[in-house]
Amino acid sequence: MAEESITFTLPDLGEGLVEATVLEWQVAVGDVVARNAPLVEVETTKSAVVIPSPQAGRIAELHAAEDQVVPVGDPLVTFAVEAADEAPRAGIVGRVPPEEARPARRVRLKPPTA
């Protein structure tokens, strides 16, 4: 079955951040991962985050070693996915899709007792 390669670059992590340090890969070459599964843990000057996989597929290549600093927009990971003519093609690059909105509520709480 034909396969195609899709490379995912380090997404814009917001707040004007231009780079991130790879802390720990959550996947290895050869792994088959689901979309939104944990992909890689990175740290910026602001925080440490786990980036979910933007793509389902087999991991073909990791472009950065752990502790390596990666500029936003540089290649991060390449997936091998089965080529499907009729299926919509996955985007090559882009932001990490935001997680679905989850319920968040506000509650008016009683005054705490001192």
Partner 1 sequence: MSAKLTGDVTMRYVDLPPRAPADAVPVLLLHGFGTDFDMNWRATGWTRALESAGLRVIGPDLRGHGSSDKPVEEAFYLPEHFVADLVSLLDELGVERVDVVGYSMGSRLGWELALTMRERVRRVALGGFGPVNAFAGTDLSEPGSGDSPFDRVYRAVAALPGNDTAALAACARGQASRPFSSDPLLNGVPLLLVSGERDAVAEGAAGLAGRCGGVHVEVPGRDHGNAVSSRAFRQAVVDFLLA
Which tokens in the block code for residue 43?
Answer: 């740290």
Among 85, 86, 87, 102, binds partner 1 (CB under 8 A): 102
Binding mask 47-66 for partner 1 (x = CB under 8 A): xxxx-x--------------
Residue located via tokens 């997680």:
99
- Nearest to partner 1 of 46, 89 (CB atom): 46
HSE of 17 in the Cβ direction (CA atoms, 13 Å)? 19
Task: By CB under 8 A, tell whether 46 contacts partner 1.
Answer: yes
Using the contact rule CB under 8 A, the part of the chain among 4-12, 73-81, 84-92, 105-113 near partner 1 is 105-113
CA distance 102 to 97: 14
CA distance 98 to 52: 9
Residues that bind partner 1 (CB under 8 A): 15, 23-24, 26, 36, 38, 41, 43, 46-50, 52, 99, 102-114
